[in-house]
Structure 1
C-alpha cells in the first residue's frame, strides 16, 4: 500500500436528494474504481448501495458513471481516471435511480423486448438442427453483436435516450440486428416493424457514443445503420 489517499466523491441517488459525499480512500496498487466503492462501503458507510457480481468484466452489473463517463468499474483502474487525485462516481444516467449507485434496469430490459430481441423459432424438437454457414455475411453480422452482456453502458452514453425516453436505445437495437441476421430466426417482419416505430432506429443521430464506450468493443452504431437500411428496403418493397 502506498501513502497516497484518493479523494472520492459519491453522487448519491434520489433517496439522498442527489447529494454528494466525499471520502478519503487509501490508494493501492492495481486498485479499481469498484475497489474504491467497496472500501467506502466496508469501512466508512455501510449504507452505500451499489451492484457488482463477477468483478472480472463478465456480468456488467457494476457499471457506473466515472467522472461523467459510463464504465465497468471492475475493469477500470483508478489510476487511469483520477483527475488531480480525485474521482467522482455516480449512478448510470438515463435510468431511474433506486438508491445511491443502483439504477432501475426495468426500462432497459423492457426496450429489449419491445425491439423483439427474443428468438422467433419455427422448428420443433423433431425437426433436424438448422444448418448455419459460419462464413456467410449474415452470420458475420449476427456474430458481431452477440457478446453484448446488457451492462447498459451504451444506453447511459446515448444522448438520444437522454432527450427521448421512447427511443429503444443501442443495446436493444443491436440485439434486433443480431436476430435479423440470424438464419434460424423467423421473426424478420416482427423485428422490422418493432424497430421502425416511434422509438425506433430512425431516431438515432449516429453520434457514436454507444460504440465509443462499449467495454466489449461492439459497434451498436453500425448495427443501427444496418436496421435503417433494411427497414428502408422493406418500406419500398411494400410500396410496390
Structure 2
C-alpha cells in the first residue's frame, strides 16, 4: 500500500523496509536490518581454503561452529551430548557442522564423519552398520532408534543426539547396559532339553530338534529382537523401576522361550515372572512398540504372557 512500509527481499535473507510516500515514488528512504548481507557474511565466516583439519578440531573443542564453505555445500548442524568421566565438567551439548553433500544418508555416517575429521574424542558404539547388531542405539531428535537406520533430517533444523535415556552413561553416547544384560540373563534365554529329548531329534546325534512349521511360525516377531534396548529405555515404567521391572525387551525374549514348543520348562518360566514388578509394571503405554527399529511389538508379547499367567491361578 502507498505510504506503508513494504518488505522487499534483497540478497536472500536480508529484509529492506522501504517507505514509498505518495508522489515521490523515486525517493526511497530505506533502512536495512542489522543482519549483514550474504556477501559480507561469506567474507566474515568462510573458512580459508587452506584451513586444516587440526584448525577445525581446535574450533570444535572451544564449542565453535565451522560455517561457510563452498557455495554448493548443504551444511547441517548436529548437537551432540558430551560427557567424559575423567574430566571435572558437567555434561554439555557440542555443535558440529557437516556438509551433507559429502556424507552418507544415515546419522551414523555423520557421527563417523565427525569422529574421523573433526573430533576423534567423540565416543559411541557401532558395529554392523545395517541394523543387525543393535550397538548404535541412541536417542535421535527425541526418539530412540538405531543411528545406522535413522536417515539424517535434511532440514535446516539442528539434529540433537543423546544416549539412551534414563541409563547410566559410560562416556558421551555410550550407555551402561550392565543391568539390562543381567535382566536378560535372568530369564535363562536358552533351550532346556526335555527328558527323552533324543526322540525329538531328526537324526540321532545331529543336535537338531524337530518342530512343526506351525510351531516355528509362532516365534516370528520375537526372535528378530536384537537387544538394542530402544524399547526398554522408552518405557516410563522401566525408568521408574529398572531395578525390578524386566522391561519390554527382556519380557518379549522371555515369551519367545515360553512359546517355543521344544522347551521343557514353560511352567517354571511363567512362575519366575509371577511377580508384582517383573511383569505387572507394564501399564500398556506402548512406547515400546512405537519406537522399535525392527518394527516388533513387545507390548503384544507381554499381553500374551499375562494371558498365559492366568493358567497358573
The answer to whether the superposition gives a TM-score over 0.5 is: yes
Aligned pair 1:171/2:249, yes or no?
Answer: yes
1:157-212 deviation digits (Å, cap 9, x = unpaired)? 11111111121011110011111111111121221122222432211010111111
Q: Distance in 1 between matches of 2:76 and 2:263?
A: 50
Which stretch shows the higher mean deviation, 7-16 or 174-183?
7-16
Residues 248 and 302 in structure 2, CA contact (< 8 A), matched pair in contact too: yes
Cross-structure match for 1:188: 266
By how many angstroms is 1:48 displaced?
0.9
How do residues 15-26 of structure 1 correspond to structure 2 at under 5 angstroms? 15=85, 16-26=89-99
Alignment-derived partner of residue 238 in structure 1? none
Q: Residues of 1 paired with 2:226 and 2:195: CA distance? A: 26
Matched, 1:62 2:140: no
Would you tell me which structure has more helix in proportion to its own residues? 1
Which residue pairs with 2:190 in the alignment? 118
Cα pair distance change 1:104/1:124, threshold 3 Å:
farther
Select 1:216's aligned residue among 294, 297, 300. 294
**Structure whose alpha-carbon radius of gyration is higher:** 2
Q: Give the Cα–Cα distance (whole angstroms) in 1 for the partners of residues 76 and 183 of structure 2.
A: 38
Comparing 121-130 with 207-216, greater Cα deviation is found at 121-130
1 CA distance for matches of 2:90 and 2:100?
29
In structure 2, distance between residues paired with 1:179 and 1:128: 17
Say if 1:61 and 1:213 are closer, same or farther in 2 by CA, change over 3 A. Answer: same
Q: Which runs of 5+ in 2 are unaligned?
A: 1-69, 202-208
RMSD across aligned positions (CA): 2.1
Tell me which of 98, 103, 125 is aligned to 1:51.
125
Higher RCO (CA 8 Å, separation ≥ 6 residues): 1
Conserved? CA contact 1:132–1:183, under 8 Å:
yes
Alignment of 1:100 with 2:172, yes or no, is: yes
In the alignment, structure 1 segments of 5+ residues that lack a partner are: 236-240
How many pairs were matched up?
231
